[in-house]
A and B are shown apart, each in its own frame.
Chain A
Amino acid sequence: MASPSTTADLVAPRPSPGSDNYLTHEKGFLSWALTLDHKRIGVMYLASVLCAFALGGTFALILRTELLTPGKTIIEHDTYNQMFTLHGAVMVFLVIIPGIPAALGNIALPLQLGAKDVAFPRLNLASYYLWLLGAACMLTSLIMNAADTGWTFYAPYSTTTQTAVAPAAMGAFILGFSSIFTGLNFIVTIHKLRPPGMGWFRLPLFVWALYSTALIQVLATPVIGITLLMLIVERLLHIGIFDPALGGDPVLFQHFFWFYSHPAVYIMVVPGFGVIGDIIPVFSRKRIFGYKFIAVSSLAIAFLGFLVWGHHMFVAGQSLLAGSIFSAITFLIAIPTAIKVFNWITTMYKGRIHLDTPMLYALAFLWVFTIGGLTGVFLAVMSVDVHLHDTYFVVAHFHYVMMGGAITALLGGIHYWWPKAFGRMYNEKVGRFGAVVVFIGMNITFFPQFILGSRGMPRRYYNYLPEFQPLHQLSTLGAYVLGLGFLMTAVSLVRSLMKKPDAPANPWGSRTLEWTISSPPPYYNFKTAPLVTRGPYDDYDGLVYDEKIHGYVEKGA
């Protein structure tokens, strides 16, 4: 046990087909359905989340197609309302929130910690089944008479509309518990299952990000739980807590909703920061710059994220006093966020940058997220927000953050950990091409929406003035390009699974622990807990590229 984790004896040779790993250890449907193995749960999460992403993406394409012309293009206005509601709800609750933590986190986090599993494997599986149950509820709403409230379920419309709000809200409620379970599990895992030698400041940044995320999940998600429960009860029994006609207070609903849903924005994007923080030093072959600042800024974002929810309510009847407080604190969030971006850029400075697929996504992230983040600062100014609230400017802003931040990072992470998770290398050329297409498509889709919004195009509208048509059409064109990029990437990834296992243990030359074991990892990850003697981004020069196995090995090994 005295040998450091990263010595060659732990770097397993290239696996021969049929060698024992977590994918082949047990066979059959039940070995997956009842698995307690974090990697398998992660893979199931990944597959499910990507299916939900395809569904949400299809909704988006239909919506964009509808907006090609003013008035009716392909669907009726009521269907349009239902579709943007489900697009939002599916993307937020089913895709982005569980995307990086539950899918990639489950696969990578215990490996990065040198642990055999997460702290509570059964809870982990329960979390996955709750996700499925939540997704089923959402689909029930879709089949019955899909909710048309917007993903925010604002009262009093949500308490009075005839559409199936209750199943959708119940779905979100259940998904909240799924998210809490994952977060709780990760916090305990990070606290209690670290290997010897791995102090808090030797944690990979991905782990730091997931830790901050998990804190938000645990502290904020219960509030959306109770809020949605109250909403459902309000709908069924008309208890009069949110419905003004019964003496309720609809602004209270917004307070409750955003107390969770603003921090939830950080549940969505902070794990993305973690992925980017892991990718950039590896592909710059350079130690991360300002490790501690990046790590702690995640916590700062998590904390500040709780104190800004009112910036969603500047025009909702919220008082000037509360608005001013929320606005001021919102500006503060720009600081830890900027610290991250500056440190990533400084990490690349004078590095030997390798433009592999994960790195392309990381660069795309920096560009798109910075635009998304900065426009958020505009919107935090109350006087500006009064004009831009509920316009396409807001739509563009949060798509630049959610799509450009969270989804880009998710794709980057998928490409980064794909060889580890499945033991297969995807076609690098297609991967890079896909990244470029996605990046271009994203900008063509959402940049025109900034212009549309600043010119007064309201969000969620079915119809619009003719003068907005060119920009809408450009945006729709971008959506098609984006869809094409995703499709291409998906095909490439799926095709890689049909190849022979060819991924080396360490294809990128990373220094974190998951790359010290074979690809795919053995059933119990590490035979004994590795002893950690260096930081997660130290000593890239100690690795050399081995042409024979197409991967990195320790120098002198």
Chain B
Amino acid sequence: MSDATSEAAESPKPKSAPPKAEHGHDDGHGNGHDHGHGHDDHDPIHAANPHLAHHFDTPQQQFDAGKLGIWLFLLTEVLFFAGLFCAYTVYRSYRPEVFVYAHYFLNTKLGALNTCVLLLSSLTAAWSVRNAQLRQHGLLKLNIIITIACACTFMVVKYFEYAHKFHDGLLPGPHFAPTEQVWELESFKHKHPEAAEYAEHLIKSAEKKKAASEKPAAVPPAAATGVVAGSGTAAPPAGGAEAQAEATATVAKEGAHAEEIHGRPTEEQLEPLIAAGVIGPKAETRDVPSKPRNAHVFFSIYFFMTGLHGLHVLIGIGVWIWLLLKANKNVFGPNYFGPIDYAALYWHLVDLIWIYLFPLLYLIH
């Protein structure tokens, strides 16, 4: 709902903003305005330039005004996204493990594909400006169509990404309930096969211990909290000490549990698990691998950033369709190509934001 409303609030920007705003349209009340005014000072310049609005003296003045306007608008867009980048940076520096954990769930290939698609559309957008300037009507339409096609491709890919995430329970906030553990993911297994295997063993041993601890009598009180699993053949660690343990100590202990079944793991094998917050001080439990605390915040930021960016792509599609209809009337030429130029600038900014979003969200090491 908030998205819809924000769209309502934003959509007038590209549409009624510079591109449309200062060009006398050939329909609507805008012309009536021009009319009522124009008679006494309809000079040859206005007569020769049907798209020159009454309050501008020359096409150059109108174009420059529009260009300054769109640049100022892009300024606001940069700062609009700055809030999200700021939130991203704060959380990434604050909870690096959440970001490492979460990035295994993202599809780098689709992200890279979308990057290329947007870059291509940026080319055609820039090209279409040239076409409009040089009155290449056919090429202009073709380039706009390719731009729209790329934008639609981008949105389709995004749709599949989102659908996949929803399906896997990767939702922001309290709805976050991933159906798969991070070490069960192909992306994780492929990169860190030993760590994945080790995590499986930890889980199995934890299950065993849990089953064992369900036999009464032998259970030390701390085990009931689920924080400490201790019984069976291995020497159980003391509850209090466990709670205060340093990260390394915890890891060593976990190592001790797993040793029985798997042999001592190396530091390199453990490292991916610790980096992702799966085990170690910031995991929900210490010797049972699980998702890190507040892992959902990453997906909040992910959906917010990509969602807002996607919204801008959608608005861009709308603007390009409008321009395609205009281009179909062959109105653009060396003295009137502002709308194409402004839309292209907007489109490049959308691309620019994605250029940063891609490494920040998909390429976390």
Contacts and interface: CB of A to CB of B under 8 A. Distances in A.
17 contacts: A36-B29, A119-B22, A120-B21, A120-B22, A123-B69, A184-B76, A220-B79, A222-B78, A223-B79, A225-B80, A227-B83, A229-B308, A238-B173, A249-B94, A523-B36, A523-B37, A524-B37
A247 B20 contact: no
Nearest to B172: A239
A377 interface: no
Given A236-B2, A238-B174, A249-B90, A219 B41 contact: no
Nearest to A248: B297
A230 interface: yes
Contact of A241 (B22, B53, B68, B301): B301
A285 B83 CA distance: 48
A218 B72 CA distance: 7
Contacts of A229: 2, 6, 308
Contact of A219 (B75, B300, B301): B75
A262 interface: no
Contacts of B234: none
A256 B86 contact: yes
A155 B308 CA distance: 22
B172 A219 contact: no
Contact of A122 (B16, B40, B95, B297): B16
B22 to A, nearest CB: 5
B65 A240 contact: no
Given A173-B9, A247-B296, 11 more contacts: A115-B55, A120-B65, A121-B55, A122-B22, A123-B18, A177-B12, A188-B69, A192-B61, A247-B95, A255-B86, A528-B41
Contact of A239 (B13, B16, B61, B300): B300
Contacts of A219: 75-76, 79
B304 interface: yes
B173 A239 contact: yes
B322 interface: no
B36 A120 contact: no
B5 interface: yes
B216 to A, nearest CB: 36
B159 interface: no
A241 B300 contact: yes
A330 B175 CA distance: 43
A226 interface: yes
Interface in A81-129: 115-117, 119-123, 126
A180 B84 contact: no
Question: Could you tell me the dominant secondary structure of chain B's interface residues?
Answer: helix
Interface string B56-69: 11000100110011
B2 A233 contact: yes
Interface string A8-24: 00000000000000000
A279 interface: no
Given A184-B69, A184-B72, A188-B68, A193 B55 contact: yes
B297 A247 contact: yes
Nearest to A170: B5
Chain A: interface size category: 35 or more
B87 interface: yes
Given A120-B22, A192-B64, A177 B297 contact: no
Interface string B37-53: 10011000000000001
A218 B76 contact: yes
B75 A233 contact: no
Contacts of A248: 297
Contacts, number: 169
A25 interface: yes
B1 interface: yes
A236 B1 contact: yes
Interface string A234-275: 001111110000111100100110000000000000000000
Contacts of A192: 61, 64-65, 68
A227 B82 CA distance: 10
Interface string A373-389: 00000000000000000
B29 A34 contact: yes
A252 B87 contact: yes
A223 B2 contact: no
A498 B82 CA distance: 50
A177 B10 contact: yes
B73 interface: yes
B16 A240 contact: no
B40 A527 contact: yes
A226 B68 contact: no
Contacts of B16: 122-123, 126
B79 A222 contact: yes
B157 interface: no
Contacts of B53: 121
A252 to B, nearest CB: 6
A191 interface: yes
Contacts of A401: none
A445 interface: no
Nearest to B43: A528
Contacts of A529: 57
Given A184-B69, A187-B68, A188-B65, A36 B33 contact: yes
Nearest to B2: A232
Contact of B304 (A122, A173, A174, A233): A233
Contacts of B6: 173, 229
A315 to B, nearest CB: 21
Contacts of B55: 115-117, 119, 121, 193
B30 interface: yes
Nearest to B10: A177
A529 B56 CA distance: 11
The 3 closest A-B pairs by CB, nearest first: A247-B294, A239-B300, A226-B83
Contacts of B95: 247
A123 B294 CA distance: 42
Contacts of B69: 119-120, 123, 184-185, 188
Contact of A218 (B61, B75, B91): B75
Contacts of B294: 240, 246-247
A119 B338 CA distance: 14
